[in-house]
């Protein structure tokens, strides 16, 4: 970038240097106090020194709202970007990213995050700590599972996950009540019920904890050690409506197929307290289900229909 840029254009608000072959963005950008949109797509950025030092503390770091670095050579999300606390839109599609740093949660103002077309294999749970995130694009990666914590993204309206390696979705995704678009095409989503998942028997501590919870044995914090009180608070209810039991660490993972918008059957992961409680699960290939299966699926289907538009095709 030309030296003296801030002197020539002190009121510059939008700068597009896409497709210019740049290998670094110079320090002259730091002194642009009004620049809110920086587009640097399809360049050669990604090596050491690609971004100016002190980005988060400079005037630019406070003013920047939109940053597009797609089509470059970044192998990781540059740490310097995590100091841009006012950033609302970040695009790093078509780079060489292999992961998402947990510190992405520092971008508290982020509303749009585009990370498609990389080599990302997993999603950190910390991504769920972005309260304003409305559009999340993770398509064309190598993601194998979705952390259930993403259900905490209450502002999320669009989630693009097509062309990954997903075989199921967490049941908690039904809690994304404002989601309008969900793209899942091109994933090896399971098409039959998964039966041969392992189950480790509960420990004596878990058996005791289950008894306390299911039989409503009264206790006060002064009656038990602090670690046991904390343990008892971690009990999860078994989703089988005929069971009423709880589990802590030992549970059965099962795939549950849920009708979305009356057209698609979507595999969701859910957890049961024991192999005997597998009745809520159903298969796309099964012709009949038990009453408990129907009750459970109806409940999930109602929640699923809150999603106004599901893009699977």
Where do the structural domains in the chain lie, given as residue ranges?
2-193, 201-250
What pLDDT shows up at residue 285? 27
CA dihedral sign, ordered 121, 85, 108, 111:
negative
Report the C-alpha gap between 241 and 75 in whole angstroms: 47
**Mind giving me the DSSP string for the chain?**
--TTHHHH-TT--EEE-TTS--S---GGGGG-TT--EEE--SS---STTSS-TTTTTSHHHHH--EEE--SS--SS--GGGGG-TT--EEE-TTS------GGGGG-TT--EEE--SS------GGGGG-TT--EEE--SS------GGGGG-TT--EEE--SS--S-EEGGGGG-TT--EEE-TTS----S-------PPPPHHHHHHHHHHHTT----TTTS-HHHHHHHTT-EE-S-TTT--EESS--EEEEEEEEETTTEEEEEEEEESSGGG-TT---TT-S---HHHHHHHHHHHHHHTTSS--B--
Class of domain 2-193: alpha beta
Task: Classify residue 136 as exposed, middle or buried by CB count within 10 Å of its CB (0-12, 13-18, 19+).
Answer: buried
What pLDDT shows up at residue 259? 56
Q: CB of 134 within 8 A of CB of 111?
A: yes
What pLDDT shows up at residue 170? 87
- Tell me the sheet residues that pair with 14: 37
**Mind giving me the DSSP string for 243-298?**
T--EESS--EEEEEEEEETTTEEEEEEEEESSGGG-TT---TT-S---HHHHHHHH
What pLDDT shows up at residue 308? 37
Report the C-alpha gap between 228 and 248 in whole angstroms: 12
Closest CA to 40 of 101, 3, 82, 94: 94
What pLDDT shows up at residue 278? 64
What pLDDT shows up at residue 133? 97
Task: Name residues of the chain where pLDDT drops below 70.
Answer: 1-9, 190-198, 255-266, 278-313
What pLDDT shows up at residue 244? 86
Nearest-Å Rg of the Cα atoms of the chain is 24
- Tell me the sheet residues that pair with 269: 170, 255
What pLDDT shows up at residue 256? 67
């Amino acid at each position: 970038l030309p030296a003296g840029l801030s002197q020539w254009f002190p009121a510059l608000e939008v700068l597009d240097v896409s497709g210019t072959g740049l290998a670094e963005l110079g320090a002259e950008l730091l002194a642009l106090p009004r620049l809110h949109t920086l587009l640097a797509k399809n360049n050669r950025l990604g090596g050491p020194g690609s971004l100016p030092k002190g980005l988060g503390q400079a005037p630019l770091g406070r003013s920047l709202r939109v940053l597009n670095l797609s089509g470059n050579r970044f192998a990781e999300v540059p740490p310097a970007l995590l100091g841009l606390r006012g950033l609302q839109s970040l695009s790093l599609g078509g780079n060489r990213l292999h992961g998402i740093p947990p510190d992405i949660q520092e971008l508290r103002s982020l509303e749009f995050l585009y990370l498609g077309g990389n080599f990302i294999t997993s999603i950190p749970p910390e991504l769920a700590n972005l309260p304003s995130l409305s559009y999340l694009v993770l398509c064309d990666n190598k993601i194998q599972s979705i952390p259930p914590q993403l259900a905490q993204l209450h502002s999320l309206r669009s989630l693009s996950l097509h062309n990954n390696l997903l075989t199921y979705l967490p049941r908690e995704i039904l809690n994304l009540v404002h989601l309008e678009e969900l793209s899942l095409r091109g994933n090896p989503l399971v098409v039959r019920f998964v039966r041969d998942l392992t189950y480790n028997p509960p420990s004596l501590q878990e058996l005791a904890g289950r008894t306390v919870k299911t039989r409503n044995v009264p206790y006060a914090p002064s009656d038990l050690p602090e670690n046991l009180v904390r343990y008892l608070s971690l009990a999860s209810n078994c989703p089988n409506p005929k069971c009423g039991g709880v589990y802590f660490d030992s549970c059965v993972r099962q795939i549950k197929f849920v009708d979305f918008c009356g057209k698609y059957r979507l595999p969701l992961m859910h957890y049961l307290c024991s192999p005997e409680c597998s009745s809520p699960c159903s298969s796309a290939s099964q012709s009949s289900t038990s009453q408990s299966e129907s009750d459970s699926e109806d409940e999930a289907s109602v929640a699923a229909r809150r999603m106004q538009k599901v893009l699977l095709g």
